[in-house]
Structure formats: C-alpha cells, structure tokens
Structure 1
C-alpha cells in the first residue's frame, strides 16, 4: 500500500476517534430524563452521568502524552478505542445509576487518550507544513459531533431507547480497532521523559475533590461539613501542586506558562466563563423535557439553532478583535453571553416559538464569538518550547470547566427545587430552572472582570480563529 493511502487512512481514523469523543460529550444530555425514568432516579439528579465523563477526561489528559511516548501511538490509540467501546457497552447494560457512572468513567479514560494521541500521531506523520492541513481535516468531525449530538440523542431515545446512544459506538469501535492495528504508525518519543507522578496526584486530587464538593450539594446529598472538607482539601491540593511545580525540574505543567499574560488571563477566563456556558447543553434539554413536556427529539432539535448560529458566527471574532481589541470584545461579549443565558429564564409554555428561536440564535452567536476569542487569546503568545504543555493544560481546563459547569448547575437546580417545594414536579422544576438560569448568567457575567485585566490596546494583526479540540 502506498504511503499516501496509509496517511489518508490515518487521517480518517483519527477523525472518527475525535468524532466519537465529542459526540458522546453531548449526546447524553437529551437522554437524561429517559435514563432517569429507566433507572428509577429523579431527572434533576442525573448530572453525575455527564460529570463522570468530562472529569475523567480532564484528569487523564495530562498523562496521555507521556503514555503515548512510553508505549507507542498504535498501542495506546488501540487501547483507547477498545476501552471507549467497552465503556459504551457497559453504559448500555447498566441497571443502576452507579453502574452507569462507573461505565462513563471507563468511556472517559478511553476518550481522554484518543484525542491527544491521535493529534500526536498526525503531527509525526505530517511534519512541518503538512500538519496544518492534516489537523484541520481531522478536527472537522470533532466540530460536527456537538452539532448533531443532542438531536441524534433525542431521536434515538424517542424511536428506540436510551441504550442505543451507547450501542452505536460498538461497530465503529470494532472497525476503529482493526484499522488502528493495520494502519496506525507505532511512533514513540525520542527519549524517555520523566513523568511527574506527585504533581499528577496533587492536581487530580484537587479536580476530583472540588467536583465532588459541587455535586455533593445536590445529587450525592453530602452534609455541609463534608462539602466544606472536600473544598478545603481540593484547594489545599491545588496549592500543594503550585509549590511543587516551583521547585520541580520537570513538573506536569511548568509555571513558566504563566509568564505570558495573554495565556494566564485566557486560561482563567476560559475556566470561569465556560462554567456558565457549558451548563447550557445540560440545562436546556432538561428544562424542555421536565417542565415544558417536550419529547426527547423535540428537545434535541431545539439545540440545532445554537449550533448553526455558532458555525456562521465563527468568522465574526477576527474582524471584531482587529477593530476593538481583545479586552473590549471579551468584556462586552462575556456580558452578552451571561445575559443570553439569563434570558432562558423566560422559557415557558406560553412563550412564542419565534422568541425562543431568537434567544437560541443569539446565544449561539455570542457563545461562538466567545470561544473563538478566548481560545485565540490563550494560545497566540505561547513559546514554541511550551506549546505542547500549554495546549495540554488548556484542553484539561476546558473539560474541567464542563465538569464544574454541570456540577454547579445541578447544585443550584437541586437547591432551588427544594426551596420552592411544589408537589407537582413540573411546576417546581420550572421555577427552579428559571432561578438557575439567572444564577448561571450572573456567574458568566462576573468572569468579565478577568478579561478586564487585559491591556486595552491588545490586538493581533495575524489573529486567526482557533478551534480547541
């Protein structure tokens, strides 16, 4: 077989892996009420299904590069697809919420290695000028995954069952394993790098404890003392990592990354701004089904305007930044994103459909501009020697923000549902959702203070949209 054909098959293989991971990050959201009914749980207490997946990816991402260098891209990518497929099968046959959460952790472990290891394989197969074209090709399916995820999930739930949102991964996974074994090059790092195990444990402990503390306020039913202990332990672990990274010669993530003002502000802004916006794919389908009695398919279709508006708005960020500068764009647009989220508190059965459509289109537009501007700001000034580490930390922060977003939204939803305390689930849930949307909007607006710290004249004549995948 020619080298050109092998490289083309490699691109398709990595692209499908990217698609599987991003699809499963969103396909579950529309199916949560049906899952809850099947498993005998409350639909308002199902966020752990989403958190388990995104948090696991955030934890494993820092180790994925070292694992690929140590064992080779072919073995690791093959194992990642196999583990992801096995986790999908386990999800489909889960009989309890606990079993489903454990299965989602297995899925996340596989998914966490698919994307960075696939990107690494493409980098080594297409060096220099060929890499940009290759990585652009493989990231297109990763952008399509979130677009069709909610709708496909709703369609499968309504016309088959929620089990099929996981079972569809099995044939793809089998073909992926075969193709990986035959076509994936088994490249390794040029030298054995030291892996910062203490730093990895400290950082992982911090992420897990903070996520459990947030989720413990709602689904897990932790007492306030337990939540406080988890938060303190999580923050202490984070501080311990910072002190460890200062004196370590090979830390997991070098503190030199934070020598760049744009990277530091972009990273922190991404974390806190995404805590609000990343909760919307979880909250909106849940509201539509639980309180407004939409079918799963109707709820999934409602998310299409958000995705389509996001695609068409991708190119708006660059001219806005060139004209107004990063600070003005990000501060103003962050406030718009927060207000758009708060406006979802107006959702009701009596609301005109055209008004709901305008809200969704507006949110999709400003949210797309937000992601493009934040991503470009974060990565644009990274030094070459820090690019790999900086991108890995950035990917981890994105998945961590998704985990925190769903945990925080779930905690607020549970608190407000208990506060309103109506006997009819739909009635109290609607009031709880309204209050939760307003709170998540306020959280997003508050992150504008982070972007306000940027220099007012910061612009970049070479700005190009950056898709973080």
Structure 2
C-alpha cells in the first residue's frame, strides 16, 4: 500500500480548517466567475452579435475543459506535489480570466474559457484531495462544510455583482476581478497548503488520457451543437458517435492497465457507484438552472441584468444557509433517507420555477428559489460525502478524479439539455425568440430527468456512510 507523504502541519486539528478555507477561496473564485457569467450572457451575446441561446457554449466550453483534464489531476498531484499543482492551477485560471476579458469575439472567448478550465480542473479536485487525505472519516462531514461555506459565497455574490457590472460597467470586468483573488490565492497556497505526494511514482496513463479526452470532448461538443438547432445534424451526430466509440475503446483499455486514469473498478463500491449515478442525474438540473434562470428573468420578464441578478442570487443564499443544518440532518436521518426525500423536495421546487410569471408576488418567487437552493445544496453535500464512505484512503486520488469528472460532465450535459429543450420549444411553437412558455418547458424537462435520482438513491444501504454522518438506523 502506498501511503501519501504529508507536511506535519496537517496533523494538528486546526490545520484542516485553515487548508479548507484556502481551498474554498479557490472555489469561491471559480463559483463567482460562473455565476457572474450566467447573468452577463445576454449582454455578451449583444457584444458578440450572436443569439443569447448560442452563448451556452461559453459555459459548456469551460465545463468541457474541466471534464477532460480533471482525470489527470490526481496523478499529477501525486507526482508533482499538491502545493505545486494547486498554485500553478490558480495561476493558469487567472491568466485565462485575463484572456477572457480581452476577447473580441465568441471563438476567442471559448478558447480562453478552455484555458481557464484547465486551471479549474486542477484547482478544486487537488484541494479536495488534500482535505480527504488529512481528515478522518468521522470528521469528513464537518470538514466538507468548512470547505463549502466560503465557496458558496461566490454564487450568493455572483448574480447581483454580475448584474451590477453589466448594467453600470462592462461585462469584461467579470473576468478581471479574478486577478487580485488569484494573486492572494497563490500566496496562501505557497504558505499553507501541504506538499502531499505519493512516494512511489505511478506511470501516467497517456493512452487513457487521450481516449477519455477525445470521448468527453466529442460528447459534450456534439450535444452542444445539437442543442442549438440549425447546425449540421450530421456533424453533431458524428461527434456523439465518435465520443461513444472513444469511450468504448477507453473501457477496453482501462481493463488492461494497472493504473488507468479513470479507474472503473471504483464502481464496485456500492456507495460510490450509486452516488455517481444518482448525483449525475441530479446535476442535470444543477447545470441547467443557472443557465435558464437569468435568461428567463431578462428575456421573459424583461428585467435588467442588475434586477435579474438580485432575483437569482436567492437560491445561492438558500444553499449557504443550509450548511449550518447539514450535519444534524444527516445525523438524524442518515444518507439514504435524506437523499431520497430531500431529492424529491428539491426537484419539486425547481419544477415550480416553470410556473413563474411577471404577475407573481416577488416574495413567492424568492421563497421558492430560497428553498430550491437549500434543498439542492443539502443534496450535493450528501452525495459528495457518502461517495467516499467505502473507498480506501490510498484510492482517494483516483476516486476524486473519477467523481469530479462525471460531476463536471453532467453539469455540462445539464446546460445542453436545457438549451436543447428551450430551442425545441421555440421552434415547435413558432416563436422568434424564447418566451416564458419555452422556459417553462425547459424547466420541466430537466426536473423530470433529475427526479429519476430518487429511486436510485433508495438503493443505498440503510446504514450507508454511518461512520461519517453519525446516524444509527434502528
């Protein structure tokens, strides 16, 4: 068994909280960037002279880059050290942000977002890996809460800040504000992040990296092209088929090498397998909702970017409020019951967004969005924790890479599904541009898909993750 080498600072109890907050600061920068961008899409589409629906590629290109490069994050951190990789990732993300800000057209923005994604692919998974290796499983729920609370400030601040920037300045400043955050993050990483690495060098799976990258990129961009409508059906179909073929070749390859870049044998662990499957279904909504809601507020309700930002930030505020209750909820009900019933409640709240109309009282819309953010955040906290309940510590690196890859892939797919449902409804109803009934259709489509996660979660053992949650079933 190859045990990771850690800096002695991590042995003290306050150490993991300090490291968690530094990692959360990196997540804050990433989440702030994503939520601000969603609010700014209509203004950016006007600047680039393209349809607002086509701006979804600015979101999916970043997530595509994450999905392609996250599989390599664990192996790279093991080889070169978590501190070096984490610091370099922040630097790369910051440089990508500057390039996004100076982009003069959509293709250049997409290329810059891909560069940003390479930095993000190393930043968050490596940080999570450091935390997993330094905290006992009995404290993992608490540690994850420390990690996620500051990171949730990004989605809370993002929509109103993005609306303010777009309304009173230029959308380009939504990228420039990452520069000071990135510089501070690099300094903190150099000072506090431990240099955890494996003592034995593991051979990097180059062929697996190429095959998985081709598969994921073809699938995401094929679905992205298909979601727009009016593009080449042959081209999008060819990309999807190519992605499936490359994926099949990767499965064949992974069964024949010792350390595949995406370790499929992890799916033998029940909690990990069910968390991946159910969590993937749920993330269809998590990816689609941030894309749909700002567009609905601006195109359907006629609100300004600043006003729509104030409305949409409420769901992120609900997510932040949840963090104080996640530990006692999981201790009382356990992972299985929480994931089943909380999953249903969260999807019902998202489905209610389909009924939003301008004549609704604002307090009603705020309440639904607040509850939606609350329940969804609890759902993802539970999925992200129970996934590692049965995974041995020496396999945390490969498990984190595998889990994060599917997480980002499904968030990208959520945007594609939402954009496709919106485009199909616009075409079917003969509208010149997206209207409120079209958004209603898109919300109901992503909700229906994510509801399938509830019966999948019900397959978890009754005592799943009891060591983490402290729950004891009767």
TM-score, length-normalised on structure 1? 0.87
- Secondary structure at the residue paired with 2:405? helix
1:405 CA drift (Å): 0.8
1:179 CA drift (Å): 5.7
| Aligned residue-pair number | 459
1:406 CA drift (Å): 0.8
Select 1:211's aligned residue among 205, 209, 220. 220
C-alpha contact 2:331 2:469 (8 A) present in aligned 1:
no
Cα 1:447–1:77, aligned 2, differ >3 Å: closer, same or farther?
Answer: closer
C-alpha contact 2:386 2:464 (8 A) present in aligned 1:
no
| Range moving further from structure 2, 224-233 or 50-59 | 224-233
Cα 1:156–1:325, aligned 2, differ >3 Å: closer, same or farther?
Answer: same
| Range moving further from structure 2, 9-18 or 50-59 | 9-18
Q: Give 2:163's aligned residue.
A: 154
Select 1:303's aligned residue among 312, 331, 343. 312
Deviation per CA, 1:67-87: give whole Å up to 9, x if none: 234444454334322221221
Question: Which runs of structure 2 are paired with 1:25-424 in the superposition (5 Å)?
Answer: 25-119=34-128, 139-177=148-186, 188-219=197-228, 221-314=230-323, 326-423=335-432
C-alpha contact 2:80 2:197 (8 A) present in aligned 1:
yes
C-alpha contact 1:413 1:432 (8 A) present in aligned 2:
yes
- Secondary structure at the residue paired with 2:223? helix
Distance 2:21 2:401 in 1: 23
Cα 1:185–1:463, aligned 2, differ >3 Å: closer, same or farther?
Answer: closer
Deviation per CA, 1:405-435: give whole Å up to 9, x if none: 1111112112211222234x3xx42221111
- Secondary structure at the residue paired with 2:459? coil
- Secondary structure at the residue paired with 1:47? helix
C-alpha contact 2:271 2:464 (8 A) present in aligned 1:
no
Deviation per CA, 1:43-98: give whole Å up to 9, x if none: 12211111111221122112123223444445433432222122111111111111
Distance 2:80 2:421 in 1: 43
Distance 1:187 1:266 in 2: 27
C-alpha contact 1:277 1:337 (8 A) present in aligned 2:
no
C-alpha contact 2:343 2:453 (8 A) present in aligned 1:
yes
Distance 1:190 1:220 in 2: 51
TM-score, length-normalised on structure 2? 0.86
Cα 1:292–1:181, aligned 2, differ >3 Å: closer, same or farther?
Answer: same
1:169 CA drift (Å): 1.4
- Secondary structure at the residue paired with 2:103? coil
Distance 1:9 1:340 in 2: 35
Deviation per CA, 1:239-274: give whole Å up to 9, x if none: 222222222111123333122112111111111111
Distance 1:363 1:138 in 2: 21
Deviation per CA, 1:156-215: give whole Å up to 9, x if none: 112211111001112333444456567766665422211111222222222112111211
Cα 1:363–1:240, aligned 2, differ >3 Å: closer, same or farther?
Answer: same
Cα 1:142–1:328, aligned 2, differ >3 Å: closer, same or farther?
Answer: closer
Distance 2:327 2:128 in 1: 25
Q: Give 1:445's aligned residue.
A: 451
- Secondary structure at the residue paired with 2:435? helix
| Range moving further from structure 2, 161-170 or 234-243 | 234-243
Q: Give 1:431's aligned residue.
A: 437
Cα 1:123–1:330, aligned 2, differ >3 Å: closer, same or farther?
Answer: closer
Distance 2:46 2:71 in 1: 36
Q: Give the gaps of 5 or more residues in structure 1.
A: none
1:288 CA drift (Å): 0.1
| Range moving further from structure 2, 278-287 or 221-230 | 221-230
Cα 1:399–1:436, aligned 2, differ >3 Å: closer, same or farther?
Answer: same
Cα 1:316–1:127, aligned 2, differ >3 Å: closer, same or farther?
Answer: closer
